[in-house]
């Protein structure tokens, strides 16, 4: 039996204990899951090669709705009020990294260090699950064959991992909304068609997925989309330049969906919450896996 619409999360109830801290196996009666997913990408979603950044990354940030609304949104809004005096600013990774537009003040190093430290604190304390796929376009191109769509490949993989996560929470049969940023009418239409195909079970006859796609304009200023934007590029850099210090990725390691649940956070996420496609193949028992060596030198975060 469904609950009355609008009563899933009481507006002024004390937030302790949070539902996310309760044992799995208590599905909601509203027909909707406890989770909402925000998606963003890094890199060119076409097969075209950028020698400086030869990958495409799709990142899914999975939030428990109550924790997201009561803890994460207030923290990000306070950060914006502290630095801008209002909350209409969109936290965009590229603008922050290049100190553009609203973020020109970050050219002052002491201010930049303080801002980045506080943004990192918000990221560390924001409880969400990260699922990401890195598509190595160089190795896909070497494989030849039919033309490929990196976005569609990554989406198929990430939705499969999302299904696994929700199954662990006993919510795989409940409706989960997946919010993506609008990219253009043609691109959005193609993405929606591919999304529906994957969720219907595709050609493999897999069980249908109860996921609903929601397209949101960047101007809607959704905090979940901004967090997804902030995590995608560090994941890509961790792959193309694994020996380079990457503070953001060190924080993200504990966010990845992994084997063993919370107790194993930061470990066992390769191939689970972080998927490389095509899979890296070992050359022999004592030989290292394949690696991609970029020829360019993209600016790091």
**Number of domains forming the structure of the chain:** 1
Question: pLDDT tens-digit profile of 264-291?
Answer: 788 889 999 999 999 876 544 444 334 4
User: Residue 203: is its pLDDT beyond 50?
Assistant: yes
Assess if residue 100 is contained within a domain. Answer: yes
Residue 282 belongs to some domain of the structure: no
> pLDDT digits over 205-242, tens only?
678 899 999 999 988 999 999 999 999 999 999 999 99
For residue 230 the two structure tokens come to: 């902030």
pLDDT over threshold 80, residue 15: no
Q: Give the rounded distance of the alpha carbon of 146 from its chain centre.
A: 27
- Domain assignment present for residue 293? The answer is no
Domain assignment present for 24:
no
Whether 283 is covered by a domain: the verdict is no
pLDDT tens-place string over residues 183-194:
999 999 999 999
Q: Is residue 10 part of a domain?
A: no
Residue 128 lies inside a defined structural domain of this protein: yes
CATH of the domain at 264: 3.30.420.10
Residue environment code for 130-140, b if the CB has 16+ CB neighbours within 10 A, otherwise e: bbbbbbbbebb
Question: Does the bond joining 17 to the residue before it have cis omega, within 30 degrees of 0?
Answer: yes
Q: Is residue 297 part of a domain?
A: no
Structural domain containing residue 140: 31-277
């Amino acid at each position: 039996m469904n609950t009355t619409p609008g009563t899933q999360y009481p507006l002024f109830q004390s937030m302790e204990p949070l539902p996310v801290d309760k044992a799995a196996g208590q599905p909601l009666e509203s027909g909707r899951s406890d989770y909402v997913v925000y998606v963003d990408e890094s890199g060119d979603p076409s097969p075209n090669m950028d020698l400086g950044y030869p990958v495409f990354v799709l990142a899914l940030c999975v939030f428990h709705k109550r924790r997201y609304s009561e803890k994460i949104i207030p923290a990000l809004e306070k950060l914006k009020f502290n630095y801008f005096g209002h909350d209409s600013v969109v936290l965009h990774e590229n603008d922050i990294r290049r100190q553009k537009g609203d973020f020109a003040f970050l050219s002052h190093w002491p201010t930049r260090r303080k801002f980045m430290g506080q943004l990192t604190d918000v990221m560390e304390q924001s409880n969400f699950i990260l699922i990401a796929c890195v598509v190595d376009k160089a190795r896909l191109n070497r494989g030849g064959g039919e033309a490929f769509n990196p976005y569609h490949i990554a989406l198929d993989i990430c939705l499969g991992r999302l299904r696994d996560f929700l199954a662990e929470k006993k919510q795989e049969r409940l409706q989960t909304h997946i919010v993506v940023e609008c990219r253009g009418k043609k691109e959005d239409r193609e993405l929606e068609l591919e999304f529906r195909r994957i969720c219907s079970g595709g050609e493999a006859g897999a069980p249908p997925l109860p996921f609903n796609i929601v397209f949101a304009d960047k101007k809607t200023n959704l905090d979940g989309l901004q967090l997804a934007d902030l995590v995608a590029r560090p994941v890509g850099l961790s792959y193309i330049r694994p020996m380079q210090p990457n503070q953001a990725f060190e924080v993200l390691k504990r966010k990845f969906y992994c084997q063993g649940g919370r107790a194993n956070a930061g470990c066992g996420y390769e191939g689970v919450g972080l998927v490389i496609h095509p899979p890296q193949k070992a050359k022999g028992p004592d030989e290292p896996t394949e690696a991609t060596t970029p020829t360019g030198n993209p600016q790091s975060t």
